[in-house]
Every structure is written in structure tokens, then in C-alpha cells.
Amino acid sequence: MDRARRVGGAALDVVERTLTAAGLGESPEKLGADARRYWEQPDGDRWRADSHWRDASVFAGTDLWSETGRRHLDLLRRMARVVEHPGPRGTVLEWGCGGGANAVHLAPEATAFVGVDLSAATLEECGRQVAAVTATPFRPVLIDPAEPEAAVAALRGTVDVFTCFYVFELIVSQEYGARLLRIAADLLTDDGLALVQIKYDTGSFGTRPRRRNYRSRLASMTTYRIDEFWELAHDCGLVPHAVHLVPRNELDERYAYFLLTRAGGPRAEAAR
């Protein structure tokens, strides 16, 4: 039965990608509505796994939940050296904080931690996990996916470190990704730093954006070529400095992490 489900899922994926390639992808409006219904309504173990809650079965019997955050903290520290940045400090924001796997490692390094998410339940869970490990103040920000800019407008120019992991592959379009990059540019201080992860498109048919049937395979909705995302970041007011690739890990495959600073800032000028 498991093999039959895998084969059936692979066949459906081919059909969905073929339809999208033929110009029959679902509209951003429909995908956006489907995504909103999925994330805003906690629904069982799969939802908790997708939201990276500690008690999800995907993390059972292993240290993977915590190890994921440790790896991201280590990567942020190492990549920050490229631009001689001290790494996580000051106000740290995680866009799509989920159940706190990254937050429990990033928040203790910060003077304030901002968790942004679509789900009130997930923000509460993230806050509980952070409070269990640090006294760093946790500020939850619940966003409306249709108007993400409005929820964080008050933070403009105050964020020292912007992070975003396991989000860009879940969004409904590359255009929506551009909105998130512009938000990052607006939120960062002049000397701020961003680390943003995407799922990359290798040019093969099976790695293109899926853009259909959101609930069935949400981690394949949106992908970018590496050069494409680099240029997009530039267009959105950010300066890319480095990219780190993870072809495969325990959760999925084809992850690219981009180190970014705000255009016009001192570290951006140094990159010229």
C-alpha cells in the first residue's frame, strides 16, 4: 500500500507539473485561499509536522527538531563572517517561526525575538518553547497572508537580523516571494543581515514550481533557479553576498541559503 501511494503521488505530481507548464496552474487567488485555510486551521499530525511542532511524529525518537535549529544558528554565524557581521544579536526576526525549532536557538542570542506566522496556535507554541529556554522577550506577530506588509509596518528599520527558513517553497508564487524580500529590506537596519532559504530549481522538469493542488504537496509550490533568486533579491532592495547549498537532508532536498544585506547599507557598499 505504501508503494502504491508513492507511485500514485509521483504520477499525480507529473500531471500537476505538466498542467502548470502548459499554463494551467491554479490562480494565485485560489492557491492563496487554499494556503490560508490550511495554515490557519490546526489539523492533526501532518499539520504539526509541516509547522515544525516539536511533538510531530516526524521528529519522534530523534533530536532532529532541535538539531535543525542548531544547524541554522551555526550556518548564520558562519555566513555572517563573510560580511564581518557579529551574527544573531539585537532584534532577531524569524518569518515563519513555526513551532520554535529555530527560535529556541536564535532567541537566546538576541535582546528581542520576533516570531512571525500565519497561525495563532503556532505562535503560542513557539512562545512556549522560547520561554522554556530563555528570558529573551518574545514578540508574536500574526499576519494576514493577503497583507503581510501591514502586520510588520511598525518594525520598519528596527530588525538587526531577519531569518526565513522553510517558507519560500510553501508560498503561492514567485511574485509573493518578491513581496517578502521587500519586507525584509524594509525591516532591516542599515547594518542588518538576512538569511533566507529557498528550494532551488535545477532546470529539470521535477524541480519546477508546482502551483497546483496546494494541500497535497505544499513543499513544492514555489522554486527558483539560484541565479534567478539572486537577481530577484537585488531587485527587491537587498544585496546577496553568498549562497550555501544543501542538496539533501533529513527533511527534504534542494535547499539554498542566501546571505543578504540591505541595499545602501555599509556592508552592501563593501560588497561592490
Give Cα 149 to chain centroid, integer Å: 16
Let me know the angle formed at the C-alpha of 101 by 97 and 103, rounded to the nearest 5 degrees: 55
Report which residue type is found at 177.
G
The rounded mean pLDDT for the chain is: 91
| pTM for the model | 0.92
pLDDT of residue 6: 46
Condensed to tens digits (0 to 9), the pLDDT of residues 152-188 reads 999 999 999 999 999 999 999 999 999 999 999 999 9
**195 neighbors 184 (Cβ within 8 angstroms):** no
Residue 2 clears pLDDT 50, i.e. is over it: no
Cα separation, 68 vs 101, in Å, equals 7
Residue 76: which residues within 8 A CB-CB, separation 6 or more?
A: 87, 88, 106, 161, 163, 195
Burial class (CB in 10 A: 0-12, 13-18, 19+), 175: exposed
Residue 5 clears pLDDT 60, i.e. is over it: no
Condensed to tens digits (0 to 9), the pLDDT of residues 50-81 reads 999 999 999 999 999 999 999 999 999 999 99
Cα separation, 153 vs 115, in Å, equals 14
- When pLDDT is cut at 50, 70 and 90, the band that residue 4 belongs to is very low
pLDDT of residue 18: 75
What is the rounded average pLDDT of the residues 133-140?
98
Burial class (CB in 10 A: 0-12, 13-18, 19+), 27: exposed
Cα separation, 155 vs 95, in Å, equals 13
What is the rounded average pLDDT of the residues 208-235?
91
Condensed to tens digits (0 to 9), the pLDDT of residues 184-221 reads 999 999 999 999 999 999 999 889 888 888 988 788 88
Q: Give 25's DSSP letter.
A: P
Q: Which domains does the chain have, with CATH numbers?
A: 26-270 (3.40.50.150)
pLDDT of residue 128: 98
pLDDT of residue 9: 53
pLDDT of residue 269: 58
What is the chain's Cα-based Rg? 18
The residue among 262, 258, 270 whose CA lies nearest residue 75 is: 258
Condensed to tens digits (0 to 9), the pLDDT of residues 6-63 reads 444 556 667 777 777 777 678 889 999 999 999 988 889 999 999 999 999 999 999 9
Sign of CA dihedral 25, 29, 209, 13: negative
Q: Report the length, in residues, of the chain.
A: 272
pLDDT of residue 11: 62
pLDDT of residue 91: 98
What is the rounded average pLDDT of the residues 105-113?
98
